[in-house]
Amino acid sequence: MKKFEVDQNGYYGRFGGAYVPEMLFANVEELRIRYLDILNDSSFQNEFHALLKHYVGRPTPLYFAGRISDKYNTRIYLKREDLNHTGAHKINNTIGQILLAGRLGKNKIVAETGAGQHGVATATVCALTGLECTVYMGKLDMERQKPNVERMKMLGARVVPALSGNQTLKDATNEAMRHWINNPEDTHYIIGSVVGPHPYPDMVARFQSVISEEIKTQLFEQENRENPDYVIACVGGGSNAAGAFFHYLECEEVMLIAVEAAGKGITTGQSAATIALGAEGVLHGSKSIIMQTDDGQIVEPYSISAGLDYPGIGPLLAHLSEKERVKFTHVTDKEALRAALELAQLEGIIPALESAHALAILSELNLKKSDVVVINLSGRGDKDMETYIRFINNEK
Ligand SMILES: *Cc1c(COP(=O)(O)O)cnc(C)c1O
């Protein structure tokens, strides 16, 4: 067994597992028993990679960013997940899971979404395959993220408002789970990050691992070495980071850095830096590090970037932090905004606000001229233009 692989019971060290209500046990168990055989089957792999190539547009470029390299006096490569169909890495996972749903004989899909990015990626693959799609979204989030609601509807999905609690992601997740409990025979639940009960974290990490698989090949072509000195990724639930780190976990000489959203600052109470602020607990079906009050209530997270605004982190990432294989750090809204503007003006690339968090730590690293740094550019910034325009106007 590889060093950071999930164990028989779905644990990474003390994190992971499958904490699900009795009523969900059969669904999760079916998935646990079958997922590896399905994923490892060559016809599945062929179909998955063909869709990644011809539909998603993979491999995404590994781009040597010359002007930003000059600025930081090092060698910086950007893994361009922003160039995927639908504009981020999330589609890698939904393509994998929609094919899996077909192999499991399911013809309906349910998903939860916060900002709507995972909902759009799910609605996209449902349209692609003709499966019926229901997406739960907090009522408040539906009001805040209208364009994504419209996109999902145009793609043929049914978007159902979650009316309980704070009417955000946590409530949408609860309702999606309830929907799955009530429709176990014909429905597959597509989770959008490396979170949830086993086997979801492992399954999603495997689908996203195509990112580091490509980096290895592409870096060898350009630098004559497969391993960079650094790989840097932002972390919400942890799926783009897990994908960018996956094939480097055993290569101890590669420094892996995960960047969380500090929001307005980690001492302000308006933050989403789970590793910095959280403690062990159970959320969405697995044991991990989560942001909670002393009596175990989930703390409502905050980040300017909707994709990082999550009160937990996947169990693999929690384990990698504890074992000090991945170094965790965090940057504020302001720092991320500045980094986005810098990338736009030095390279002509407008990143997603999430990805801008990964860029923002460049100035804090002690980089050498000969270092090779790979930054996972998880998504593009079109969806964040309103926020960027407001920032630019305030800076003037
Ligand atoms: C959703 C999202 C993230 C955060 O999710 P992870 O599972 O941590 O990768 C990061 N970047 C973009 C562009 C996203 O859409």
Render pLDDT for 92-136 as a digit per residue (tens, 0 to 9): 999 999 999 999 999 999 999 998 999 999 999 999 999 999 999
80 and 106, same domain (yes or no): no
Question: Are 235 and 259 in the same domain?
Answer: yes
pLDDT for 127: 98
> Is 380 found in the same domain as 283?
yes
Q: Report yes or no on 16 lying in a domain.
A: no
The answer on 232 and 129 residing in a single domain is no
217 and 157, same structural domain?
Answer: no
* Catalytically active residues, by annotation: 90, 112, 378
Question: What's the pLDDT tens digit per position in 49-87?
Answer: 999 999 999 999 999 999 999 999 999 999 999 999 999
Write the pLDDT tens digit of every residue in 161-173. Answer: 999 888 888 889 9
Are residues 99 and 72 part of one domain?
no
In a domain, 15, yes or no: no
Residues with CB under 6 Å of ligand 1 are: 88, 90, 117, 193, 234-241, 307-308, 352, 354-355, 378-379
Q: Which of 173, 204, 235 is the last residue of a domain?
A: 204
Least confident of 1-15, 68-82, 222-236: 1-15
Domain with 261 in it: what CATH number?
A: 3.40.50.1100
Tokens of 56: 């998603």
Task: Supply the residue whose CA is at minimum distance from atom 10 of ligand 1.
Answer: 354
pTM of the model: 0.97
Task: Please give the share of the chain, as a percent, with pLDDT higher than 70.
Answer: 100
Query: What range defines the domain where residue 127 resides?
Result: 21-51+90-204
Q: Classify residue 278: in a domain, yes or no.
A: yes
pLDDT tens for 278-290 read 999 999 999 999 9
In a domain, 6, yes or no: no
Please identify which residue in the block is written with the tokens 């393509």: 95
Q: Which of 63, 80, 72, 62 has the alpha carbon at shortest distance from 371?
A: 72
**Cβ–Cβ < 8 Å for 345, 314:** no
Angle formed by the axes of helices 25-40 and 90-103, nearest 10°:
100
Location of structure tokens 């890495």: 89
Let me know: does 325 contact 5? Beta carbons within 8 Å. Answer: no
Protein residue whose Cα sits closest to atom 7 of ligand 1: 239
Q: Which of 11-15, 21-25, 200-204, 227-231 has the lowest mean pLDDT?
A: 21-25
Do residues 301 and 311 make contact, with C-beta atoms less than 8 angstroms apart?
yes
Residues 286 and 199 reside in one and the same domain: no
Q: What separation in angstroms does the CA of 111 have from each of 139, 174, 181, 285, 358?
A: 15, 11, 13, 15, 27
Instruction: Quote the number of domains for the chain.
Output: 2
Average pLDDT value for the chain? 96
